[in-house]
Amino acid sequence: MPTVSVVIPTYNRAELLSRAIDSVLAQTYDDFELVVVDDGSTDDTEAVVTGYDDDRVRYLPHETNRGANPARNTGIEAAEGEYVAFLDSDDEWRPRKLEAQLDRLDGTDDEWVAVYCDYEVTVPGASGALRETAAELLSAGDDADATVEGGEDLVGPTLADTLHTGAGSTLLVRTEVARRIDGFDEDLDWFQDPDFLLRVLLEGKLAHVPEELVVRHYSGSPDADTAAAADVEFLDKHADLVRESERRGYDVSGAHNLVLAKYYLREGRFLPGLTKLYQASVTPRQVPSLVWFAATGSRRGRSAVLAASALAFAMLVARRSR
């Protein structure tokens, strides 16, 4: 039985999948199996996976496209390892990823049920200073929480968007825990990573490796209206945890309104963006990312005056929040 089962869900990413698979096979820790769940692809995904001459690689196809969460759950059900680790098919691991995480858990007691690591974000199509700026603004948060290890004490930071684990590509968790919490919520179209993490935190403690051992390739995000609907769904599901976290001083609603404000600004929809921004929790450190998203919306042919107004308003809100 392998120590780790690595699960890669994929759908019509034959041209990117080899990069993810190769990064797993290049791990310095080699006691693993790699389960690639093909979620009904219509491209050359099967040929890519079955072309690997490595007994550790398993190919599990879905007959039809069911979504990323069902694909991850298929991998969890099939996992034979003590731990299960997840990797999105457009991301990649650095060679020491599994070794460093297992070393971190070595010698810990049964309370420690999972471990994540830091990650780097890259932006395809960008280059030079633009690429670096975009990646910095899209990577783990503007006001990252100093508390990076723990259990239920991390629920508040997770809900308030100050703890960013990139769980879909960084997390390694005990397989029995992943199964006990029924895997990923197949009814959620978005927020599946923090939702899964929240339920893990209610089972035990989360450890952290402070190294960028994952490269996440930014591939876009939902439109603002889809994100807003998913946001309501997610917060309603965890309403009790949200109330408790806000009672403890975490501005969960404000943090989520900030995320939605950025999405509306990115689309050049400055009026709903300003509405969400007024309801948001903003600090001066978060203004640069708002500048980025508002500038993106302005480049899409929207009013530069409205964009400038949005930025000025963001700075006023930031001053108010200090």
Structure tokens given for 32: 């693993």
Residue 121 has pLDDT above 60, yes or no: yes
State how many domains the chain has: 2
Q: Which residues pair with 118 in a beta bridge?
A: 212
Q: Which position has the token pair 């991850």?
A: 72
Do 236 and 101 belong together in one domain? Answer: no
The CA distances from residue 128 to 132, 139, 268, in Å, are 6, 17, 25
Do 185 and 288 belong together in one domain? Answer: no
Do 166 and 100 belong together in one domain? Answer: yes
Closest-CA residue to 27 (of 114, 99, 105):
99
Do 62 and 147 belong together in one domain? Answer: yes
Residue 133 has pLDDT above 60, yes or no: no
For residue 114, the SS3 value is strand
pLDDT value at residue 135: 44
Do 145 and 270 belong together in one domain? Answer: no
Tell me whether residue 57 is in a domain. yes
Q: Are 283 and 318 in contact (CB under 8 A)?
A: yes
Tell me whether residue 264 is in a domain. yes
Instruction: Dump strand ranges (E) for 64-204.
Output: 83-86, 92-93, 112-122, 172-174
Residue 197 has pLDDT above 50, yes or no: yes
Do 59 and 108 belong together in one domain? Answer: yes
Closest-CA residue to 215 (of 88, 115, 121):
121
Q: What is the mean pLDDT of residues 251-261?
A: 93
Do 194 and 250 belong together in one domain? Answer: no
Closest-CA residue to 281 (of 121, 103, 162):
162
Q: Which of 190, 217, 244 is the last residue of a domain?
A: 217
Do 148 and 265 belong together in one domain? Answer: no
Tell me whether residue 274 is in a domain. yes
The pLDDT-based confidence of 318 (bands split at 50, 70, 90) is very low
Which of 7-21, 60-74, 215-229, 305-319 shows the lowest per-residue confidence on average (mean pLDDT)?
305-319
Tell which wins on pLDDT, 74 or 221.
74
Q: Which of 197, 217, 237 is the last residue of a domain?
A: 217
Residue 100 has pLDDT above 50, yes or no: yes
What CATH number should be reported for the domain holding residue 136? 3.90.550.10
Tell me whether residue 62 is in a domain. yes
Tell which wins on pLDDT, 33 or 313.
33
Do 84 and 155 belong together in one domain? Answer: yes
The pLDDT-based confidence of 2 (bands split at 50, 70, 90) is very high
Do 56 and 204 belong together in one domain? Answer: yes
pLDDT value at residue 131: 44
Do 210 and 238 belong together in one domain? Answer: no
The pLDDT-based confidence of 302 (bands split at 50, 70, 90) is low
Do 253 and 176 belong together in one domain? Answer: no
Residue 226 has pLDDT above 60, yes or no: yes
Tell me whether residue 174 is in a domain. yes
pLDDT value at residue 128: 42
Tell me whether residue 222 is in a domain. no
Tell me whether residue 92 is in a domain. yes
Residue 149 has pLDDT above 80, yes or no: yes
Cα separation, 96 vs 206, in Å, equals 19
The residue range of the domain holding 107 is 4-217
Tell me whether residue 111 is in a domain. yes
Q: What is the mean pLDDT of residues 173-196?
A: 95
Closest-CA residue to 189 (of 71, 90, 69):
69
% of the chain with per-residue pLDDT over 90 = 67
Q: Which of 161, 191, 217 is the last residue of a domain?
A: 217
Q: Kindly report the backbone phi and psi dihedral angles of residue 115, in degrees, each rounded to the nearest multiple of 5, phi listed first.
A: -150, 145
Which of 67-71, 121-125, 151-155 shows the lowest per-residue confidence on average (mean pLDDT)?
121-125
